[in-house]
Structure 1
Amino acid sequence: MIKFILKKIGKLIGLLAAISILSFVLISYSPVDPVRSYIGAEIARISPEQQKNIEAYWGLDQSKPQQFLQWAKAVAQGNLGNSLIYRKPVSEIIIERFTASLALMGLAWLFSGVLGFFLGILGGMNEGSTLDRFIKTYCFILASTPAFWLGLLLLMFFASYLGWFPVGLASPAGILSEEVSFVDKINHLILPVLTLSIVGVAGIALHTREKLVEVLNSEFIRFARAKGESGMKLLWRHGLRNISLPAISLHFASFGELFGGAVLTEQVFSYPGLGQAVVKAGLGGDVPLLLGITLFSVVFIFFGNFMADLLYVAIDPRMKIKTVND
């Protein structure tokens, strides 16, 4: 197990290095001028000398390789640099924004997993029925539905037309954070969580259904049915372990889709999370913040895949034997 963990850490370090270089190269070719974006409409009042001073203060007057080497050296020492837009350390911004996004992504990840697994079981247990066809059609529609489009529909209907939920933000406007109640926070989370949950259901439901159909048509299930087992007893004793492994792997591997969906959802609902920071950094040419969030997202997604591997071993001891032999 220690050897397995060390190999994973080595892969993560190599992945971070490759992503850092690729991301910096792509950002370097961005047409956005950080100085002009930061100053905004007042750019006409700023002299060329003042613009050069700002570039020198931010280190933008250096060549691209020098900028990258300085940034990489600082990252190796645990310093992600300072945001050009927020004028704060990048690490502080990531922690602050991710804390807000964690509630949104965590609830959506949990609900989509449970609902998708349940729908997959219903479809697989009733293969070929009207219920099965309805679940497959529902999932296929969701799989082709963009998160931002679904969020706009929910926003227009439930917030604008019916007025059941707030239009956006993470708390009521004009109220101090200390005065915001838990109910208010939940009320502002419902529509964003619902958007991410609905979109995330399709993959896990379809995969679970296909795996359950495969298991139910296997030889050992036929033998169990010959002994008189059927229904939920058959599923509980012979099916759940076989379909839970791929479901867990797929759901933890969906961290990347979850993160990407959260970026779009937070924009639609003006939710002050990590997704909004990404968009603002991109539009403002904030290279340190963009690179910092990129590295954080890589670690976040890698953690999901790593947890899936560990749960594989916990659920199926045969995976541990295979890992040791490898």
Structure 2
Amino acid sequence: METVKQHSFGSRDRGKAVLIFLGRKCIGLILLLLAVSGVSFALVHYSPIDPIQAYVGADMMKVSPEQRQAIVEYWGLDKPAPAQYWSWLGALAGGDWGTSMIYRQPVLEVIGERFAASLALMGAAWVLSGIIGFFCGVTAAMNRNSWMDRLVRWYCYILSSTPTFWVGLLLMLVFAVWLGWLPVGLAVPAGVTADQVHLVDRIRHMLLPVLTLSVTGIAAIALHTREKLLDVMDSEYWLFARARGEQGWTIFRRHGLRNVALPAITLQFASFSELFGGAVLAEQVFSYPGLGQAAVEAGLRGDVPLLLGVVLCSAVFVFTGNTMADISYRLIDPRVKAGARP
């Protein structure tokens, strides 16, 4: 009877801890979105870019002062900045994200179209960089101070200090210009209607951006995994296992895999911010119509509704990655209970 009571109280405590954890995450997300949107709005509002000129474009000289004033009133740009931000928050709370000034479409439609393309790009790069980075880190540590270890470290040190756009340009020059194996850019072949685009065409156009993000994302995972495995290899239980005759991948599978997998997975989920930032540059280099390219265009042309929408989506994306890293830590490591600090 006492065991049943203890189990019941334990379940209640775990359920309460989970609710507290989720509540803190929700509050943190709301505060993050308010802070990010407020700072972004202030930066765009006080930037030297004229949103009216960006909205009208090349026909700016043909617009009369009355027409310009009508455009200002239509977009609410005649109000003070706090009033504009408060009005935007009120509309956002009602589900209205506004209308893009440069695409002439609702912001949610633009984000939905662009985010699907970016998600496929970032997802493929995220998986490849994680798997290859983990394998390279383990291989380097298991062959400490060998030519293979030096090769992995050399690769990681160079790639970690190389800009993403430069890697993209280099890959474009080699595989698209010199060899002609892959297309130069875009997400689909130019001049082809949507019903004539095949899956193979989309994959071929996505290979170079994915490769660009992958080769730059490998370095952090590989170096981190290598250092963690070296610490494990210097531990007493690893030396004891070697004394018993275990060696090679057998000893790694039994005594090293779990110890290095946990920090590697946590770091991989926490790299969502770097992944999104790299995707912005890669999409610009390859003219890939993703969310990052939309964010750049919105910033350069003063499209406040679209820029704020992209900023919110990117903040949620990064926050989700950090939350998943926290949850994965609790799921993989049985010593960490729900609600406990890792």
The answer, yes or no, to whether TM exceeds 0.5 is yes
- The partner residue of 2:102 within 53, 71, 85 is 85
Q: Equivalences for 1:174-189 in 2 at 5 Å?
A: 174-189=191-206
Q: Which residue of 1 aligns with 2:238?
A: 221
Q: Which one-letter code corresponds to 1:133 in the other structure?
A: R
Q: Which residue of 2 aligns with 1:18?
A: 35
Q: Which residue of 2 aligns with 1:191?
A: 208
Shift of 1:29: 1.4
- The partner residue of 2:48 within 31, 50, 59 is 31
Give distance in 2, aligned partners of 1:86 and 1:245. 43
Identical aligned pairs, as a percentage? Answer: 58
Q: Which residue of 1 aligns with 2:304?
A: 287
For structure 2, list consecutive stretches of 5 or more residues without a partner in the other structure: 1-17
- Cα 1:232–1:15 change in 2 (3 A) is same
- Is residue 54 of structure 1 aligned with residue 65 of structure 2? no
For structure 1, list consecutive stretches of 5 or more residues without a partner in the other structure: none
Q: Secondary structure in 1 aligned to 2:191?
A: coil
- Cα 1:237–1:184 change in 2 (3 A) is same
Q: Which runs of 4+ in 1 moved over 3 A?
A: none
Q: Give the TM-score normalised by the residue count of structure 1.
A: 0.97
Q: Which residue of 2 aligns with 1:146?
A: 163
- The partner residue of 2:111 within 94, 105, 113 is 94
Q: Secondary structure in 1 aligned to 2:245?
A: coil
Q: Equivalences for 1:298-317 in 2 at 5 Å?
A: 298-317=315-334
Q: Secondary structure in 2 aligned to 1:171?
A: coil
Q: Secondary structure in 1 aligned to 2:192?
A: coil
Give distance in 2, aligned partners of 1:226 and 1:154. 47
Q: Which residue of 2 aligns with 1:319?
A: 336
* Aligned-pair Cα RMSD in Å: 1.2
Shift of 1:5: 1.3
Give distance in 1, aligned partners of 2:187 and 2:69. 39
Shift of 1:41: 2.1
- The partner residue of 1:256 within 261, 267, 273 is 273
Q: Which residue of 1 aligns with 2:254?
A: 237
Shift of 1:324: 4.6
Q: Which residue of 1 aligns with 2:6?
A: none
Aligned residues: 325
Give distance in 2, aligned partners of 1:313 and 1:254. 18
**Which deviates more from structure 2 when the two are superposed, residues 154-163 or residues 295-304?**
154-163
